């Protein structure tokens, strides 16, 4: 009888330990990486002026992998498992390059031009670009248009939209929609400067 009790006590402890281990462990959280991509470049006909887009600057709080949510009037949270797949300043620059070209019907180059002289140079700074827990997304930016022999033109953009759905994929889509709006404003400033 004594031997039977000795065998059941360790077996009972083993079962209890396995149950506790199963409850304590949770599946690992999956990481999600997102790309910010514009629509395809649409090349129009006729002669196109050339615009140089300087490297885009983003506010320091945006210069990180995790997507940013504003959680209070002056508080933000950086997502650990929902991240940009590439540096945000580079992604925004590529996005604006294509979106401005589509909306202004100009050739937009991002590197210093060596073979052709640009008609204008555009410098963009993204001051805010983040979502909120309530589902709104805000973009605040300013830009400068430089043309040879003219005073620089300074502009600003401040817009908010509501995500079309919950979740981070909708947040990325809202970022793209806001960047298209900024590109349209930059395109308008380029066209108004030519008159």
Report domain extents, the chain: 32-193
Q: What is the DSSP letter of 22?
A: H
Check residue 47 and give its pLDDT: 52
Buried b (16+ CB within 10 A) or exposed e, 115-143: eeebbbbbbbebbbbbbbeebebbbbbeb
| Nearest alpha carbon to residue 94 among 39, 49, 146 | 39
Check residue 26 and give its pLDDT: 60
C-alpha angle with apex 125: 124 to 127, nearest 5 degrees?
150
98's CB contacts (< 8 A; 6+ apart) are: 38, 39, 40, 41, 108
Cα-Cα-Cα-Cα torsion 16, 17, 20, 26, nearest 10 degrees, comes to -140
Check residue 168 and give its pLDDT: 94
* Residues of the chain falling short of pLDDT 70: 1-27, 43-48, 111-116, 193-195
Class of 32-193 in CATH: alpha beta
HSE-CB for 166 with a 13 A CA cutoff: 2
Distance (Å, whole) CA 171 – CA 167: 7
Asked if 102 and 43 count as a contact pair (C-beta separation under 8 A), the reply is no
CB atoms under 10 Å from CB of 31, counted, come to 11
Check residue 7 and give its pLDDT: 43
SS3 120: strand
Distance (Å, whole) CA 3 – CA 33: 57
């Amino acid at each position: 009888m004594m031997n039977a009790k000795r065998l059941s006590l360790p077996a009972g402890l083993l079962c209890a330990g396995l149950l506790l281990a199963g409850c304590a462990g949770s599946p690992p959280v999956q990481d999600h990486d997102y790309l910010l991509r514009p629509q395809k470049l649409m090349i129009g006909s006729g002669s196109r002026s050339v615009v140089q887009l300087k490297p885009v600057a983003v506010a320091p709080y945006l210069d990180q992998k995790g997507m940013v949510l504003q959680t209070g009037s002056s508080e933000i949270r950086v997502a650990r498992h929902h991240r940009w797949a590439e540096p945000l300043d580079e992604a925004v620059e590529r996005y604006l390059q294509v979106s401005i070209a589509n909306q202004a019907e100009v050739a937009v180059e991002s590197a210093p031009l060596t073979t052709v002289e640009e008609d204008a140079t555009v410098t963009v700074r993204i001051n805010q670009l983040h979502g909120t827990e309530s589902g709104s997304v805000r973009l605040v930016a300013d830009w400068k248009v430089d043309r040879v022999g003219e005073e620089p033109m300074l502009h600003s953009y401040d817009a908010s939209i509501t995500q079309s759905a919950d979740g981070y994929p909708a947040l990325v889509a809202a970022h793209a929609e806001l960047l298209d709006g900024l590109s349209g404003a930059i395109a308008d400033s380029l066209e108004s400067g030519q008159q």
